[in-house]
Every structure is written in C-alpha cells, then in structure tokens.
Amino acid sequence: GSAAEKLEQQVHQQVKDLAKQLGLARVSAYGLDQDHINRLVMRCDLGQCVADYAGHMVQTAYRQATMLGPKIANTPQDSLLAACVFAIVWLLDLPQKPSLMKVAALAKVTEASVRNTYGLLHPALGYLVPRDMPIRLKGGLSALPPPASPTPPAARR
C-alpha cells in the first residue's frame, strides 16, 4: 500500500541523489514515454486501455529488474513494449490479437527479440500484470501462449 509507495519514493530519491553525486547521467527510458506506447498500440489497431496497461507493465518490468534477471537490462525497450502489448492483448482476450511477428514489425524490432523478451517476462507475468486489469482469457495466465510457441494451436487454423 502507501507505505511501500513511500519507501519506493525514498529509494528513487536516494538513487537520484547518488547519481548526481557520482556525476552519472540518468537516462529515462523512452519505452516509458506514454506517447510512444500510444503510437505502437494505435499502429496495432488496439484501444487506449491496452496502452495504459502496457505502460504500467513496462514500468513494473523495469522496477522488478532484479526478479527478471540481468538480461532485462540489455533488452531493447521496444521489444519489452511489444512483448507487454502481446501479453495484454491475450489476457484481455481481445477478438483481434496481432501475432508476435506483427507486433514486432510495428515496434520496428525483430520477432526473435520480442520472443526472447516475452520469454523473460512470461514466468513473472503474475507480478507484472496490472492488478486492476481484468483477465478475460479462459484459464488465465496459464493459458497464455508459451514463449517457445507465440501462437497457440487453436489460433493457427
């Protein structure tokens, strides 16, 4: 709750202060730029709710970097965004689900990069999915396409 948020703000402020003292430039990830997220979601012909959930999920992924492992730090931001959009579309069980390949192409990254990022996120999706997001996919998180096969058999017809 609010105690955790207060602690997170204190940590964030201490990191900022340390970075300033050490003369480090703090680069803000443009994957966190909501306009950038909105543009990708619009190119995918998806709604604003997908953009909002994707923004939240990208930010959570960066905050939970230690849980996701060291590879997440080297992940292209657009691959992370594309993987989040892909997962959200499936979890919301939207009638129009762009393939991993299509989301990757629209994000201007390789399908392999998005597939690898989705593989990093997949085991931790329970922690990354926004709490207020309705999961409409029958079977929930466990019914998501596995990372090795980004399109489930039922959708391959």
DSSP track, 89-124: HHHTT-SS---HHHHHHHHTS-HHHHHHHHHHHGGG
Residue among 48, 70, 72 at smallest CA distance from 128: 72
What is the per-residue pLDDT for 27?
45
DSSP state of 151: S
Higher pLDDT, 146 or 26: 146
- Classified as helix, coil or strand, 24 is coil
pTM (predicted TM-score):
0.74
What is residue 67's predicted lDDT score, i.e. its pLDDT? Answer: 78
pLDDT tens per residue, range 69-109: 778 878 888 999 999 999 999 999 999 899 999 999 999 99
